[in-house]
Amino acid sequence: MLTAAGGLEPRLTWNLVQDVRQTLEFPFMVNAFRAGFIVAVLSGLVGWFMVLRRESFAGHTLAIVGFPGAAGAVLIGVSATYGLFAFALVAAVLIGVTRGSGGRGYGAQPAVIGTIQAFALACGFLFVNIYGGFLSGTTALLFGSFLGITPDQVAVLAVVAVIVSIVLAAIARPLLFASVDADVAQARGVPVRILSITFLVLLGCAAAEVSQMTGTLLVFALLVVPAATAQVWTPRPFASAVLTVVIGVCVTWLSLFAAYYSSSYPIGFFLTSFAFAAYLLANGWRRLRDHPASRPGALV
C-alpha cells in the first residue's frame, strides 16, 4: 500500500483521522467520495433485486454495453456519461422486449443477452480503433477510475440515482412478488411483464452509473457482491436491502481510501477485493452458524 518514493506521493501515517483528513483535502477526492456514495447506494438497491431475480447476466451485459457507449460518445465528441446511459437504456429495452411472452424472471433468454454482449464488446473495440489515440482511456473505461470525476458528473449521478430510487421504491413490493412468484403475481393482477422491462431499464441506469467508478468489466463488484453478501447474512427482505447499501458504501469508501494511498493500483481492484472479502466473511459466518444443523441446500 505504501509507495516508497515519498515526496509528493501521499503517505499513510497510520493515524486514521489524519489520513482521512489528508484524503479529503483534495476536491477530486471529495468528488470521488460523493460519487462513490451515490453509486454504492443505487447499485445496492438495484443490485439487491437483480440478485433476487437471477438477472446478473443481464446486469453484466447492460454494463458491458457502456463500453461502446462511452467509446462512441468520445468518438463523436460528447461526454462519455451520455454514451453510457444511452447505450445501457437501449440495451435494457431490447433485452426486455425480446424476452417476450416467456415473461419469467429467472434468467430468461440468456442467448439473446449473450449475443447483445458480444456485439457490444465488438462495437466498443471498433470505436476505440477508429479513434486511435484513445487507447490509454480504454483501460479506465474497462476497469474504472476515480480520478477526474467532475462536480457536474456527480450532479448527473445524483439526479439519476434519485429518479431510479423513487421509481424502484414505488414498484418495490409488486416487483418482489413478481420476482419470487411470477405466476401467482400475474394472477393477482401484477403487471409482470411491464415490471420486468421497467426493472431492466433501472438496471441499465444503475449499470451505467456504476461503470463510471468500476469500469464496465467490474460492475459486479458493486451490483452483485454486496447484495449477494447481504442475502447470505439475512433472509429478511428489508433488512438485507439496507445491509446491501451499507456494505456497498463501506466497500466503496474503503476502496477510494486505499486507492488514494496506492495510486499504482486501480480502484477496481480494491473494490472487487474488499467486496469479495465481505462475501467470504458472510459465507464463513453462515457456515459456522448453520453447522450444528448442517441443513442440506445451504449454498456456499
Near other proteins in 223-242, by CB under 8 A: 231-232, 234-240
Using CB under 8 A, which of the segments 13-21, 125-133, 176-184, 276-284 binds other proteins? 176-184
Residue selected from 135, 159, 162, 184 as contacting other proteins according to rule CB under 8 A: 184
CA distance 109 to 112: 6
Radius of gyration of the chain (CA): 20
Near other proteins in 143-172, by CB under 8 A: 169-172
Asked if 192 is part of the footprint of other proteins (rule: CB under 8 A), the reply reads: no
Q: Which is nearer to other proteins, 61 or 240 (CB)?
A: 240
Sort 25 into a burial class: Cβ within 10 Å, 0-12 / 13-18 / 19+. Answer: exposed
Question: How near is the Cβ of 292 to other proteins at its closest, in Å?
Answer: 15
Q: Which is nearer to other proteins, 84 or 171 (CB)?
A: 171
Q: Which is nearer to other proteins, 173 or 291 (CB)?
A: 173
Near other proteins in 12-41, by CB under 8 A: none
Q: Which is nearer to other proteins, 231 or 272 (CB)?
A: 231
Residue selected from 122, 135, 159, 187 as contacting other proteins according to rule CB under 8 A: 187
Contacts with other proteins, 268-297, as mask; x by CB under 8 A: ---------------------------xxx
Residues contributing to the site for other proteins (CB under 8 A) = 52, 54, 106, 169-174, 176-177, 180-181, 183-190, 231-232, 234-240, 295-299
